[in-house]
Structure 1
């Protein structure tokens, strides 16, 4: 039976769920959950997207993913492949870890974002130690929303959800807590929307988060030319020079941005640039990612790139 085409929209949030195969516990201990969160954060940085809510249970995961223009399949494939490789190495096993494809649902109504957030944050309620205190569960984003836990991974956007509840940060947290509790046993969508009407503020949140969309329809040539200009390189065609340490950083960052903003595969980049193997492209992409995220000289380059492209 053919697979049903997945409904996707890279500009709006998705509710994503994935589960382990029957005979496997997806997270055997806390260190496994920490590893998965680290990988979530890594791929948020690599693909320039963010998380609105998450909850990691022993055999499944819920993620409210804001793709901000990226392909959610690319995000989830990279995340789950890396985790499966880690899991199989650690537990000396082979074969699949996840049960088929991940499940995703486009959240195409603003109010439904609130319902999904509450649903995800109520997930630990069936655990004996958390039935009355889901906010204290370490591997859910709920505690971060309420200030109980710190966002150590830097991937969570709490403003977008909280902004719907009050124009004051402390009030928003309090009202959001009541809202999540009120959704605890509600399963019918209509009733959930009635609850939303009772809780959602009519006033805008004073630091309301604007969801930024990184449009991924840029051409590789646009990226290369813009990065060359930022670097002060005379000709963007220098990227085709195979052995040149002087343009190594330029080449690495251009390749990373082609992956991120043009949605190009390593194979596509090989064809675009030439004179590079797949492994060389992968290595350079990793170097570009590291430079943009750790080197002060390049950390603002992405913003500069968009400014120059918009001005063009």
Structure 2
């Protein structure tokens, strides 16, 4: 899993705001303190989050409340992220201080917020957040204080906006949940935070891990050339079909993309009209075809 690091002690910039902006927010207890370690703490924070979600009209795609930090994946509308987080943090802080007859900061003064590319990384960000309890050795992914249980249907509430993410897998909810679970069980993919702009100075410290050198070829170029060499239309490879040749061309494109492109499984799935889980199966070699090697070899010989 990709670890995040931030540059500190730098002048603050105002956060970027526009309706539809997607943020991965991380809030930590002051000095790393466990300010959310009891169930009553987590329940209270979730209640405050739900209240302001309805009041300030933002979308919440994922959350995970740990003992000393919280992950939120939020899409804002008219109200800025700063205004939203100020209210949430302030109300919880006041409650916590009253409960324990104390004063002072409960959370670190500056929460972390990464502006994210929703189109390419929505599912990967959800997966990253839902994997936090597993990484912390708290058991399976069915962690009570994570939004994973809302995606599986074990918990029902309007606090989590699951519809858009699940629809990437299928329009049928039952099928979508099944494919979501398959996606969550797969080995974690590399997560690269692709920013529309630098949100804060600390974003400059996000570690970007690459498997080898950067691959420059555009996926659309690969699709176009493969279709030309194989004498098929692009529209043909995006339709559901049982024709072996067309199916193998799609598989070849998936494998070529893995070798020559920087593209997420989610975006590639959208381009080829496949599920993200199918993309992963093809890359892992689980779903082989008769003509795949020939298509790849032809593309590499002509294109290089």
Corresponding residue for residue 297 of structure 1: none
| CA deviation map 1:83-108 (0-9, x unaligned) | 01111111121110111211112223
**Where in structure 2 are the equivalents of 1:1-312 lying within 5 Å?**
1-22=10-31, 24-130=33-139, 133-134=140-141, 136-151=142-157, 154-182=158-186, 184=188, 186-187=190-191, 193-196=263-266, 202=273
Unaligned runs of 5+ in 2: 1-9, 194-209, 212-261, 276-304
**Distance change (3 Å), C-alpha of 1:124 and 1:16:** same
Secondary structure, in 3 states, of the residue corresponding to 1:97?
coil
Q: Give 1:166 deviation, angstroms.
A: 1.3
Q: Give 1:164 deviation, angstroms.
A: 0.7
CA contact (8 A) 1:55 1:141 kept: yes
Unaligned runs of 5+ in 1: 205-312
CA contact (8 A) 1:54 1:63 kept: yes
**Distance change (3 Å), C-alpha of 1:91 and 1:46:** same
| CA deviation map 1:109-139 (0-9, x unaligned) | 4121111111111111123341xx21x1010
Instruction: Calculate the TM-score normalised by the size of structure 1.
Output: 0.58
Secondary structure, in 3 states, of the residue corresponding to 2:104?
coil
Secondary structure, in 3 states, of the residue corresponding to 2:31?
coil
Taking the aligned partners of 2:79 and 2:102, their CA distance within structure 1 comes to: 32
Secondary structure, in 3 states, of the residue corresponding to 2:88?
helix
Q: Give 1:6 deviation, angstroms.
A: 2.2
Secondary structure, in 3 states, of the residue corresponding to 1:26?
coil
- The RMSD of aligned alpha carbons is 2.4
| CA deviation map 1:240-298 (0-9, x unaligned) | xxxxxxxxxxxxxxxxxxxxxxxxxxxxxxxxxxxxxxxxxxxxxxxxxxxxxxxxxxx
Higher relative contact order structure (alpha carbons within 8 Å, sequence separation ≥ 6): 2
| CA deviation map 1:124-164 (0-9, x unaligned) | 1123341xx21x1010000110012232xx22110011111
Taking the aligned partners of 1:105 and 1:69, their CA distance within structure 2 comes to: 18
Corresponding residue for residue 285 of structure 1: none
Secondary structure, in 3 states, of the residue corresponding to 1:163?
helix
Q: Give 1:55 deviation, angstroms.
A: 0.5
